[in-house]
């Protein structure tokens, strides 16, 4: 086994940690720790352009807990990589957050571009699903503040990052519980406008497979599977027909917060934004299936975190 590495992904809604080694015989990642905390760092950033101090402190507290795990597993400082994505790209006061993380972990956070985020998500996703059809895979990573679409065979050939995510769309449009018809219509128009741009830059019709990663897609998949407790072994690699995806997404969008909370597989920190995330996923699935003829989606539990860890392990002597 290789020495352990630590990858941290800090997005708009959550901060996640993966501590892993590489199995030298197979080249596969071996998880030592995989953690998620819902910190909502990007709360209000779309409206104000700034981080809320309380949200920053929540995130720093999570980083302190992650540091304890990193030390426990003996990860060297040079083998830690912390990336920040959509909310941090947008926040004018991000330096305070960046400096706080550096003091806690000893590494300076990288505020990566949406293009870099897309490439890392692609590597993490496609490297762990072995039975995808021949031809380009379209990997979709729906975050809290942005959504990345990346197409390729083995490595990305086309990619785009769009300023739409579950938190951003909720804050912009879905204010009522449950959302009103006019609010949903406004969100659909916003999402479709972004997808029109994506269609111009990424040849969506060439996709032979559609792979969704991150919390929105894995949550939709878990709800569709009807499981009581969240089980990555059930959701990872799962195949859902396009009608199944649309049915579950429509139901989650229509439900109130109280109704969503009855789904034990939905993380409490995702209850208020899963409707917007589901709407984004349903619009993407509709668009891609219409252009490419794909009749089903695949779900990957592996994404940017795995891409980060693999990238780190490639650097370890």
pLDDT in tens, 69-117: 999 999 999 999 999 876 677 777 888 888 999 999 999 988 887 678 7
Q: Is the pLDDT of residue 264 over 80?
A: yes
Every domain range in the chain assigned CATH 3.30.420.150: 129-300
Q: Is the pLDDT of residue 28 over 70?
A: yes
Per-residue model confidence as pLDDT tens digits over 121-133: 888 887 777 788 8
Please, what is the end-to-end C-alpha distance for the chain in angstroms?
A: 13
CATH classification (class only), 5-114: alpha beta
Q: Is the pLDDT of residue 284 over 70?
A: yes
Q: What number of other Cβ atoms are within 10 A of residue 317's Cβ?
A: 3
> Which is more confident, 136 or 229?
136
CATH classification (class only), 129-300: alpha beta
Whether 75 and 174 have beta carbons less than 8 Å apart is answered as: no
pLDDT category of residue 237 using cuts at 50, 70 and 90:
confident
Q: What is the mean pLDDT of the chain?
A: 88
Average pLDDT (218-233) is 87
Per-residue model confidence as pLDDT tens digits over 30-74: 889 989 888 888 777 777 888 888 888 999 999 999 999 999 999
> Which is more confident, 88 or 15?
15
Q: Is the pLDDT of residue 187 over 90?
A: yes
Every domain range in the chain assigned CATH 3.30.420.40: 5-114
pLDDT for 50: 81
pLDDT category of residue 317 using cuts at 50, 70 and 90:
low
Return the structure tokens found at 186: 């406004």
Rounded-to-integer distance, Cα 8 and Cα 82, Å: 5
Average pLDDT (195-208) is 95
Max mean pLDDT among 77-91, 220-234, 284-298 falls in 284-298
Rounded-to-integer distance, Cα 265 and Cα 250, Å: 17
Max mean pLDDT among 15-29, 151-165, 275-289 falls in 275-289
Q: Is the pLDDT of residue 316 over 80?
A: no
pLDDT for 199: 94
pLDDT for 131: 81
């Amino acid at each position: 086994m290789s020495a352990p590495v630590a990858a941290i992904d800090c997005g708009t809604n959550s901060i996640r940690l993966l501590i892993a080694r590489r199995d030298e015989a197979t080249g596969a990642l071996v998880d030592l720790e995989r953690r998620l905390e819902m910190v909502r760092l990007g709360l209000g950033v779309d409206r104000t352009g700034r981080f809320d101090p309380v949200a920053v402190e929540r995130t720093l507290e999570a980083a302190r807990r992650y540091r304890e795990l990193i030390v426990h597993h003996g990860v060297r400082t040079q083998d830690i990589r912390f990336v920040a994505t959509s909310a941090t790209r947008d926040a004018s006061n991000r330096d305070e957050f960046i400096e706080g993380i550096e003091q806690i972990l000893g590494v300076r956070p990288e505020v990566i571009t949406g293009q870099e985020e897309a490439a890392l998500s692609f590597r993490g996703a496609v490297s762990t699903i072995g039975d995808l059809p021949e031809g380009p895979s379209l990997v979709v990573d729906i975050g809290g503040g942005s959504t990345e679409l990346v197409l390729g065979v083995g490595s990305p050939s086309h990619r785009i990052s769009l300023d739409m995510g579950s938190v951003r769309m909720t804050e912009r449009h879905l204010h009522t519980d449950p959302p009103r018809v006019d609010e949903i219509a406004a969100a659909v128009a916003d999402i479709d406008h972004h997808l029109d741009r994506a269609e111009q830059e990424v040849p969506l019709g060439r996709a032979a497979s559609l792979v969704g990663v991150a919390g929105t897609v894995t949550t939709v998949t878990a709800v569709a599977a009807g499981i009581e407790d969240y089980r990555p072994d059930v959701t990872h690699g799962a195949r859902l027909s396009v009608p199944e995806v649309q049915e579950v997404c429509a139901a989650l969008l229509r439900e109130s917060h109280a109704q969503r909370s009855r789904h034990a597989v939905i993380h409490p920190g995702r209850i208020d934004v899963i409707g917007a995330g589901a709407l984004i996923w349903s619009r993407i699935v509709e668009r891609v299936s219409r252009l490419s003829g794909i009749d089903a989606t695949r779900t990957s539990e592996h994404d940017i975190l795995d891409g980060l860890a693999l990238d780190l392990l490639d650097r370890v002597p």
